[in-house]
Amino acid sequence: MSTMGPEYITGIAVLDEQHKQLFLLTSQAQTLLKDQNMLYKFDELKEILEGIRAYTLSHFVDEEAYMSNAGYSGLDEHLELHQKFLENLTHIDEEASRVSLGTQDSILRELLNYLTKWLHQHILHADKEMVREIEAAK
What DSSP letter does each residue of the chain carry, written as one string?
--S--GGG--S-HHHHHHHHHHHHHHHHHHHHHH-SS-S--HHHHHHHHHHHHHHHHHHHHHHHHHHHHHT-TTHHHHHHHHHHHHHHHHHHHHHHHT--TTTHHHHHHHHHHHHHHHIIIIIIIIIHHHHHHHHHH-
With a CB cutoff of 8 Å and minimum separation 6, the contacts of 39 are 101
Banded pLDDT at 1 (limits 50, 70, 90): low
Q: What is the pLDDT of residues 35-92, one digit of tens each?
A: 988 888 999 999 999 999 999 999 999 999 999 999 999 999 999 999 999 999 999 9
Banded pLDDT at 101 (limits 50, 70, 90): confident
- CB-count exposure of residue 65 (10 Å: 0-12, 13-18, 19+): exposed
Q: What is the CATH number of domain 6-20+41-137?
A: 1.20.120.50
Confidence check: pLDDT of 4 > 90: no
Per-residue model confidence (pLDDT) at position 2: 60
Per-residue model confidence (pLDDT) at position 37: 86
